[in-house]
């Protein structure tokens, strides 16, 4: 790293991914939280001083030499107390740059205070919906103010870059999602060959309508001789839907429902699966909510091809031979059985996926340079 970048002092607001920095059993964390952790880990590799603001107390915080973990907010704090804590936390801290991920009212408060204190703000987009206009004037106002206050906006894909410009007349810098393989693979593990894998198809995600789990259930029903695994919990806003689907899944003999698993726990299942099935649906505006799914990178790390209905960030799957697109249940059925029966094709795709996933690992010099470029003009 050059002398200029060594002087960088970055504060990362990881309030929603605080679980990663405590010595305790993990609760639910989604893709955005995992990306935040990966960003922090990568920043620690490329140098500079990294502060990570989290929610909670000083009790049982991980001891890390590479980053400074700072408990800032408590769930019992009132809104006013939270604002005061953020203000004094940022004022006391001598960071040059504030890094935030996602659009929310809480992040807007951080943006406003950061701007007041003349801090450079890097705002990272977490999904396609965040760069699209909403039916809610309140949500649109939060987006407009957030984009106005940010010194730089980081998007996951070219599609998000276009949406950001078309909807809010703002430019975004593309930074594809990254992965830290140490959370999934160590030197003792090996990637299973096709003939060593016992799961024919796996589905991983939050069980909600937009994820299209019905299509995975249909696939399993159409191939009763194949073995399927479903990993996922409910969305609090769609809990009744999830309960009904889980109930029906438990009556299907060839689907093994495992409930919610943390990313490090799903590694063994990805390594044992022949195909990851992605059934996320198009919304009314012909976009999915996914952006760049972390589970794709995680599956590809184990050489597991992806069959996706609608989600193909910047055509990565089709352009890099990382799986297959299948926009309806009939094509899913045909693509699934065809890929399972064509071992040569599967092996070639599997090889491609490992290569691509490792190209987005935080230890890759190219990834480190890409991330570094986000924090310098």
Other CB atoms closer than 10 Å to residue 315's CB: what's the count? 12
Question: What average pLDDT is seen over the chain?
Answer: 88
Please report the pLDDT score of residue 2 as a whole number: 45
Residue 309 has pLDDT above 60, yes or no: yes
* Inter-residue contact 39 to 178 (CB < 8 Å): yes
pLDDT tens for 192-217 read 999 999 999 999 988 888 888 999 99
Using CB atoms within 10 Å of the CB of residue 85, give its burial: 0 to 12 exposed, 13 to 18 middle, 19+ buried.
middle
Residue 345 has pLDDT above 80, yes or no: yes
* Inter-residue contact 322 to 349 (CB < 8 Å): yes
Confidence band, pLDDT 50/70/90 cuts, at residue 316:
very high
Please report the pLDDT score of residue 20 as a whole number: 67
Confidence band, pLDDT 50/70/90 cuts, at residue 110:
very high
pLDDT tens for 237-267 read 668 888 888 888 888 999 999 998 877 788 9
Distances (CA, A) of 42 to 39, 48, 368: 5, 11, 7
In the three-class reduction of DSSP (H, G, I as helix; E, B as strand; rest coil), residue 165 is classed as: helix
Q: Which of 308, 299, 356 is CA-nearest to residue 332?
A: 308
* Inter-residue contact 69 to 61 (CB < 8 Å): yes
From CA 49, how far away is CA 118, in angstroms rounded? 19
Interval 143-172 mean pLDDT: 95
From CA 281, how far away is CA 209, in angstroms rounded? 8
Please report the pLDDT score of residue 327 as a whole number: 92
Please report the pLDDT score of residue 24 as a whole number: 57
Q: Where in the chain is the domain with CATH 3.40.50.2000?
A: 3-178+362-374, 184-359
- Written as six digits, the tokens of 335 are 């693509």
Residue 317 has pLDDT above 50, yes or no: yes
Q: Where are the alpha helices (DSSP H) in the chain?
A: 3-6, 31-46, 79-92, 105-116, 137-149, 158-168, 213-222, 239-249, 263-272, 294-301, 316-320, 329-341, 343-359, 365-374
- Written as six digits, the tokens of 136 are 């809610």
From CA 139, how far away is CA 243, in angstroms rounded? 29
- Which DSSP letter does residue 251 get? T
From CA 100, how far away is CA 111, in angstroms rounded? 8
Q: State how beta strands 255-259 and 276-278 pair.
A: unpaired
Using a CB cutoff of 8 Å and minimum separation of 24, what contacts does 87-90 make?
87/113, 87/116, 87/117, 89/53, 90/11, 90/114, 90/117, 90/119
**% of the chain residues with pLDDT over 90:** 55
- Tell me the pTM: 0.89
Residue 188 has pLDDT above 70, yes or no: no
Longest pairwise C-alpha distance within the chain? 62
Q: For 55-59, 61-65, 102-106, 233-237, which range has the lowest pLDDT when averaged over its residues? A: 55-59
DSSP codes, 45-100: HH-SEEEEEEES-STTB---SSSEEEEEE-TT--HHHHHHHHHHHHHHS--SEEEE
Please report the pLDDT score of residue 57 as a whole number: 60
Phi first, then psi: give them for residue 72, nearest 5 degrees. -120, -50
From CA 217, how far away is CA 199, in angstroms rounded? 15
Which is more confident, 320 or 28?
A: 320
Residue 49 has pLDDT above 70, yes or no: yes
Confidence band, pLDDT 50/70/90 cuts, at residue 78:
confident
Interval 46-55 mean pLDDT: 83
Confidence band, pLDDT 50/70/90 cuts, at residue 3:
very low
- Which DSSP letter does residue 321 get? T
Distances (CA, A) of 65 to 45, 51, 68, 204, 368: 12, 11, 8, 34, 19
CATH number of 184-359: 3.90.1010.10, 3.20.20.60, 2.40.110.10, 3.40.50.2000? 3.40.50.2000
pLDDT tens for 297-306 read 999 999 999 9
Residue 332 has pLDDT above 70, yes or no: yes
**% of the chain residues with pLDDT over 70:** 89
- Written as six digits, the tokens of 253 are 């003999």
Interval 168-190 mean pLDDT: 87
- Written as six digits, the tokens of 32 are 């955005």
* Inter-residue contact 293 to 262 (CB < 8 Å): no
Residue 236 has pLDDT above 60, yes or no: yes
Confidence band, pLDDT 50/70/90 cuts, at residue 167:
very high
Question: Could you tell me the CATH superfamily of domain 3-178+362-374?
Answer: Glycogen Phosphorylase B; (3.40.50.2000)
């Amino acid at each position: 790293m050059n002398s200029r970048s060594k002087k960088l002092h970055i504060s990362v607001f990881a309030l929603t991914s605080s679980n990663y920095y405590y010595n305790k059993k993990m609760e639910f964390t989604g893709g955005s939280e995992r990306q935040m952790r990966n960003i922090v880990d990568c920043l620690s590799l490329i140098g500079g001083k990294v502060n990570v603001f989290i929610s909670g107390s000083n009790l049982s915080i991980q001891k890390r030499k590479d980053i400074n973990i700072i408990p800032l907010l408590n769930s019992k704090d009132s809104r006013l107390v939270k604002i005061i804590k953020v203000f004094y936390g940022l004022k006391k801290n001598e960071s040059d740059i504030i890094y935030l991920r996602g659009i929310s009212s809480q992040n807007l408060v951080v943006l406003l205070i950061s701007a007041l204190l003349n801090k450079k703000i890097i705002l990272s987009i977490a999904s396609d919906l965040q760069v699209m206009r909403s039916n809610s004037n309140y949500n649109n106002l939060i987006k407009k103010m957030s984009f106005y206050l940010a010194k730089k906006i980081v998007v996951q894909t070219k599609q998000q870059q276009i949406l950001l410009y078309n909807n809010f007349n703002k430019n975004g810098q593309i930074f594809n999602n990254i992965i830290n393989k140490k959370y999934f693979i160590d030197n003792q593990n090996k990637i299973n060959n096709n003939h060593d894998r016992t799961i024919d198809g796996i589905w991983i995600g939050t069980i909600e309508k937009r994820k299209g789990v019905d299509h995975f259930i249909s696939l399993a029903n159409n191939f009763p001789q194949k073995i399927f695994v479903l990993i996922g919990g409910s969305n609090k806003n769609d809990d009744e839907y999830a309960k009904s689907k889980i109930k029906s899944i438990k009556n299907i003999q060839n689907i093994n429902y495992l409930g919610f698993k943390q990313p490090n726990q799903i590694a063994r299942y990805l390594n044992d699966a022949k195909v990851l099935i992605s059934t996320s649906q198009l919304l009314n505006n012909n976009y999915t909510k996914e952006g760049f799914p972390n589970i794709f990178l995680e599956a590809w790390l184990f050489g597991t091809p992806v069959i996706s209905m609608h989600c193909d960030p910047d055509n990565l799957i089709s352009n890099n031979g990382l799986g297959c697109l299948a926009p309806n249940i009939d094509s899913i059925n045909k693509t699934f059985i065809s890929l399972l029966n064509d071992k040569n094709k599967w092996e070639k795709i599997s090889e491609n996926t490992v290569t691509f996933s490792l190209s987005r690992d935080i230890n890759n010099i190219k990834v480190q340079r890409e991330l570094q470029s986000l924090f310098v003009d």
